[in-house]
Amino acid sequence: MGLQSLKMKSLSEIETTSKRASKAAGYSWGISEEVGKGIRLMELFGLAGIKNLSEYFKSKIQNKFENLNLINDNNKTEKYPYCPIIFGISFLDQVKTLEKLDKIRLDNIAYPFLVLPFLSRSSEIIGKKIHYKFDDHEFLLNFNVKISSKILSDKYPIIAKNIEIIFLENKDNFSETEWKSLYKLSEETFVEESESLKKGAAGAGLTDND
Domain for residue 69, yes or no? Answer: yes
Number of domains present in the structure of the chain: 1
Instruction: Assess whether pLDDT exceeds 50 at residue 27.
Output: yes
Q: What is the pLDDT of residue 78?
A: 87
Contact (CB, 8 A) for 104 and 132: no
Q: Which of 111, 54, 117, 64 is nearest to 84 (CA)?
A: 111
pTM: 0.81
Domain for residue 48, yes or no? Answer: yes
Rg, the chain, Cα only:
24
Domain for residue 205, yes or no? Answer: no
Domain for residue 1, yes or no? Answer: no
Q: What is the pLDDT of residue 157?
A: 82
Q: Average pLDDT for residues 164-181, to the nearest whole number?
A: 89
For the stretch 77-134, pLDDT in tens is 989 999 999 999 999 999 999 999 989 999 999 999 999 999 999 999 999 999 999 9
Domain for residue 173, yes or no? Answer: no
Q: Average pLDDT for residues 198-207, to the nearest whole number?
A: 56
Domain for residue 195, yes or no? Answer: no
Containing 53, the helix (H) or strand (E) segment is helix 49-62
Domain for residue 23, yes or no? Answer: yes
Indicate the Cα dihedral angle 84, 85, 91, 93, nearest 10°: -170
| Full domain range(s) for residue 153 | 9-168
* Beta carbons within 10 angstroms of residue 197's beta carbon: 10
Domain for residue 40, yes or no? Answer: yes
